[in-house]
């Protein structure tokens, strides 16, 4: 589910909610969602306090004061939802998903000593969290191979072009989705940025001009920043750290707009499959 803007939105929310909170108790129902031993949890999590919440690519990093970090990947349907010590009932203005937690998608429950709780929910069980020494995070296989952050100042057109061209024989969409090329792009923002740059997702990287890649670089940064401003995209399951949906989907130009008119030229948006993923394009603006 969540791509860079959604994970960043969760990070911003958690960073304002959980630092300094002390963990009282941890429970979980599915080993693959949280593979650490009870001994790890008792030794390094229980009685530990949260220091800060970081993000790298689509991974959240919750640093504890035991020199350990909770590494979290939400994959397709994961949620990290914080519920304060005071709960609101159904119908209350502040009521939301949170009033019904935990529910059957709750995989891990982290209770803090002030009565508040952080829930890790994941319907499809693809997501995971794991506890490891903070200095070991960089040695994780994914962290070693993942590409640069697209919203860093250092992510220039030259860097983008150079890295994309490493996948010269594949489609531009597959290259954008490849986390070793650059970090954080998933299906929504691949389609959105390609529409913005008027490039068909199935175009082979080797056929793209530097001018086209320069446009794509600009569009990619634009849609990622816009989405963070809008609190991410809620297509199905995504919610932020307070259980609220994001609104980027209301601003989307092609994603999930099949059958509707292109906002630029009026042609009817089509849906197809590229790089094994549902793909949305304008047949007039984005020529194969």
Partner DNA sequence: CACTTGACCTGTCCGC
Partner DNA sequence: TGCGGACAGGTCAAGT
205: left (phi over 0), alpha (psi -120 to 50) or beta: alpha
Shortest reach from residue 256's CB to DNA, in Å: 8
* 68-73 β-sheet, strand order: 50-56, 59-64, 68-73, 128-133
Give the closest residue to 283 by CA, choosing from 187, 275, 260, 185.
260
> Is residue 232 a contact point for DNA (CB under 7 A)?
yes
Among the listed residues 55, 56, 58, 107, the single catalytic one is 58
Nearer of residues 66 and 237 to DNA, judged by Cβ = 237
By C-beta, is 6 or 45 nearer to DNA?
6
Residue 20 interacting with DNA (CB under 7 A): no
Measured CA distances, 220 to 78, 165, 176, 256, 269 (Å)? 24, 16, 10, 18, 20
Is 126 among the residues that bind DNA (CB under 7 A)? Answer: yes
H helices of 4-153, in order, are 4-17, 38-44, 141-145
User: Nearest approach, Cβ of 74 to DNA (angstroms)?
Assistant: 8
- Tokens standing for residue 70: 């909770």
Alpha-carbon torsion, ordered 40, 44, 49, 54, to 10 deg? -70
Closer Cβ to DNA, 50 or 231, answer by number: 231
Number of residues that bind DNA (CB under 7 A): 42
Q: Taking contact as CB under 7 A, which single stretch among the options 61-69, 84-92, 154-162, 169-177 is the one that binds DNA?
A: 169-177
Alpha-carbon distance 9 to 108, whole Å? 20
**Residue 92 DSSP one-character state:** S
Is residue 276 within the footprint of DNA (CB under 7 A)? yes
Among 24, 52, 125, 264, binds DNA (CB under 7 A): 125
In the complex with DNA, the residue whose CB is nearer, 155 or 248, is 248
Q: Biggest alpha carbon distance in the chain?
A: 60
233 binds DNA (CB under 7 A): yes
Q: Is 144 in the site for DNA (CB under 7 A)?
A: no
Residues of the shown chain interacting with DNA in the complex, contacts defined by CB under 7 A: 1-3, 6, 32, 57-58, 73, 75-76, 104-105, 123-126, 141-142, 166-171, 174, 177, 179, 186-188, 232-238, 273, 275-278
The residues annotated with a catalytic role in the active site are: 2-3, 58, 277
């Amino acid at each position: 589910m969540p791509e860079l803007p959604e994970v960043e939105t969760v990070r911003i929310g958690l960073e304002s909610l959980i630092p300094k909170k002390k963990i009282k108790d941890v429970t979980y129902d599915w080993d693959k969602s949280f593979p650490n031993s009870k001994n790890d949890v008792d030794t390094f999590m229980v009685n530990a306090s949260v220091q800060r919440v970081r993000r790298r690519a689509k991974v959240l990093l919750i640093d504890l004061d035991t020199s350990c970090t909770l590494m979290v990947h939400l994959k397709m349907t994961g949620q990290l939802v914080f519920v304060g010590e005071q709960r609101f009932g159904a119908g209350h203005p502040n009521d939301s998903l949170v009033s019904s937690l935990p529910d059957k998608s709750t995989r891990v429950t982290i209770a803090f000593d002030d009565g508040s709780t952080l829930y890790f929910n994941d319907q499809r069980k693809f997501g995971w969290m794991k506890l490891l020494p903070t200095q070991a995070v960089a040695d994780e296989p994914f962290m070693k191979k993942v590409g640069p952050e697209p919203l860093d100042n250092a992510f220039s057109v030259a860097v983008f072009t150079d890295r994309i061209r490493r996948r010269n024989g594949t489609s531009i969409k597959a290259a954008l989705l490849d986390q070793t090329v650059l970090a954080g792009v998933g299906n929504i923002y691949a389609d959105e940025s390609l529409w913005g740059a008027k490039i068909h997702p199935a175009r082979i990287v080797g056929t793209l001009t530097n001018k086209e890649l320069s446009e794509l670089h600009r569009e990619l940064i634009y849609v990622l920043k816009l989405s963070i401003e809008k609190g991410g995209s809620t297509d199905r399951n995504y919610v932020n750290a307070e259980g609220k949906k994001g609104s980027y989907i209301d601003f989307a130009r092609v994603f999930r707009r099949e059958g509707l008119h292109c906002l630029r030229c009026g042609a009817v948006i089509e849906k197809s499959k590229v790089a094994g993923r549902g793909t949305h394009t304008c047949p007039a603006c984005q020529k194969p």
